[in-house]
Amino acid sequence: MKFRVVIPARYGATRLPGKPLRRLLDKPLIQYVFDNAVASGAEEVVIATDDDRIRETAEGFGATVCMTSTQHCSGTERLAEVAERNHYAADDIVVNLQGDEPLLPPLLIRQVAEDLAAHPAAAIATLCSRLTQAEQLFNPHIVKVVMDQQGYALYFSRAPIPWDREGFAASPARLDPNADYFRHIGLYASRAGFLHDYVNRPPCQAERLEALEQLRALWYDYRIHVAEAMAEMEGGVDTEEDLARVEALLRRRGSEGNGG
């Protein structure tokens, strides 16, 4: 199947300024993300940015770059501009790959695109993984999702959902081993026509309160299909500590690959 990948990348991250250009071993962070997108089998990979420093670096390692507006409030808005400027067809599948995920397996990029293609009733496809620790469920930085029996999202929240009324009253630090809890993975596939519709709709109250833009899609009755990820995630880069952790993992992988 054919799909495109767009990587929104901005320079001014609050917690880690210049994040896309920070070095991991011998390469900038954004290059690892780009290489994973290429390895997924996408027919086109575009880095979308509003910063000339990112453009120059990305073009230096052979990436296609689309310069976008400095006024965008989200990566989705940046994707919509790329889709419009590059004249994508309305049914073209576009994967929104965050520019701070250097360890995201190419398999998952392809999985989310194929999942959208397999569910024509969905406007968006995304991924999740099972939560097994109570501290993860109660962590507001970890977004949770609840799905219906067909795998379509009912709600996303930073709160612990579903709430185990009896179990948490007895012991909030313990998860029922017979209950399913899922962490949302922020990797999306959508059709180019949907991107245009989405960014022209105002945010809803739930989106503003939770700071989760996917809730806008649910508010306007777009369906989101959620598949369980076929590979494990190592986590993205938001802080100096994350940068060190990812670099250590990359160094270890390199050592193992060389037989060290």
Kindly state whether residue 114 falls inside one of the protein's structural domains: yes
In residues, how long is the chain? 260
Residue 131 domain flag: no
User: Is position 174 within any domain?
Assistant: no
Query: For residue 260, what pLDDT is reported?
Result: 52
The reply to whether 194 falls in a domain is yes
Give CA torsion, residues 94, 222, 204, 75, to 10 deg.
-10
In this prediction, residue 72 carries a pLDDT of 86
Number of structural domains in the chain? 1
Find the farthest-apart pair of alpha carbons in the chain and give their distance in angstroms, rounded.
Answer: 57
Which pLDDT tens digits describe the chain residue by residue (260 residues)? 899 999 999 887 777 889 999 999 989 999 999 999 999 999 999 999 999 999 999 999 999 999 998 888 888 999 999 999 999 999 999 999 999 999 999 999 999 999 999 999 999 999 999 999 999 999 999 999 999 999 999 999 999 999 999 889 888 788 888 899 999 999 999 999 999 999 999 999 999 999 999 999 999 999 999 999 999 988 888 889 999 999 999 998 876 665 55
Phi and psi for 199 in degrees, rounded to 5? -70, -10
Determine, yes or no, domain membership for 130: no
Q: Which residues pair with 228 in a beta bridge?
A: 128
Answer whether residue 76 is part of any domain.
yes
In this prediction, residue 257 carries a pLDDT of 65
- Report if residue 140 sits inside a domain: no
Phi, then psi, of 169 in degrees rounded to 5: -65, -35
pLDDT value for 245: 93
Specify the pTM. Answer: 0.93
The answer to the question of residue 147 being in a domain is no
d(CA 187, CA 63): 20
| Cα(126)–Cα(252) distance, integer angstroms | 29
Domain that holds residue 244: 4-124+184-257
Q: How much is the pLDDT for 101?
A: 92
**Can you give the pLDDT at residue 234?**
80
CATH at residue 231: 3.90.550.10
Q: Residue 131: its pLDDT value, please?
A: 94
Which pLDDT does position 258 carry in this prediction? Answer: 59
